[in-house]
Structure 1
């Protein structure tokens, strides 16, 4: 009888522990512009380079975008400021050469260069963040239609507090048997 109870406890613990891993969510980090980085676009369709790059990716809440650049800056602005290519009060500003911005909500995000004249030469981008799926998506890498990852790296996020609580509760319950 004692071995049956022990086996039951181990099985219950393993089941609850594996349950914790079912609901972990993955996020992705995207390097803006892929191999090009955050620079003034050149060539045909230069004014649409970053929007074409962004439209080839599927952004979700909690994903991040990384801007790599030299002697430039990144600003998150309103739609009106995006259209005018200028902002005196951006929603976000960084000029450290390696900026990471977290896409915290679904919707549109408007990015422009803060250096005078760069935005009008095509250094601007709109990112659309999709609504989260319900129930949570399984980890997948649907970053582009051509099968390339366009500079994204998947990384696991921290497990939710309720899953951690379930794990701790199951461990405590296991200890008292």
Structure 2
């Protein structure tokens, strides 16, 4: 490889590296995948799984299944377990769905009867850019002012460390 190509590759890794750690792929249903729940007691298993996770914009869901399908639907279609015009449909067995906004997403199986037996899920995607609620004057007065000190979020620390490591690796290998 030429030096110019190596420098170009390093710059791509440095500037794009931070965005690589900002999203997560979640495998729906863990090892069982996207299946009809085995018993009536498990009819909320996907909503229970979803409540154990925190989803944000650009995260993806991986639906693994055989002889089935997955549809994103409206809240009304979710409640009825029927969708004549799904917002998203796939039946390829390895479906990846990317969250492009915050808010609620509703998923059901497209196979007749599967949704009624519990193969459905609601996901809440968090708006991580949301600003915290304003503080009252009393709360502000009780906290010491940190003038000139920047506070980093855990994700900011991870992103900074990732960029540092990639930069160091580029310097070593170029």
TM-score by length of 2: 0.65
How many residue pairs match? The answer is 127
- The alignment status of 1:31 with 2:48, answered yes or no, reads no
Following TM superposition, the consecutive aligned residue runs of length 4 or more in structure 1 with deviations greater than 3 angstroms are: 19-25, 133-137
> Equivalent residues in 2 for 1:47-66 (5 A)?
47-66=43-62
Unaligned runs of at least 5 residues, structure 2? 1-13, 131-151, 160-174
Aligned-residue Cα RMSD (Å) equals 3.0
Q: Say whether 1:128 aligns with 2:145.
A: no
Residue 118 of structure 1 corresponds to 114
User: What are the Cα deviations for residues 7-55 of structure 1, in whole angstroms up to 9, with x where unaligned?
Assistant: xxxxxxxxxxxx9589545200000000110000013532100000000
Going by fraction, where is helix more abundant, 1 or 2?
Answer: 2
* 1:138 aligned onto 2:155: yes
Greater relative CO, 1 or 2 (CA 8 Å, sep 6+) = 1
Q: Distance in 2 between matches of 1:52 and 1:71?
A: 24
2:38 is matched with: 42
* C-alpha distance in 1 between matches for 2:17 and 2:44: 39
Task: Could you tell me which runs of 5 or more consecutive residues in structure 1 were left unpaired when the two chains were aligned.
Answer: 1-18, 142-155, 157-177
Q: Distance in 1 between matches of 2:61 and 2:24?
A: 8
Alignment TM-score, normalising by the size of structure 1: 0.64
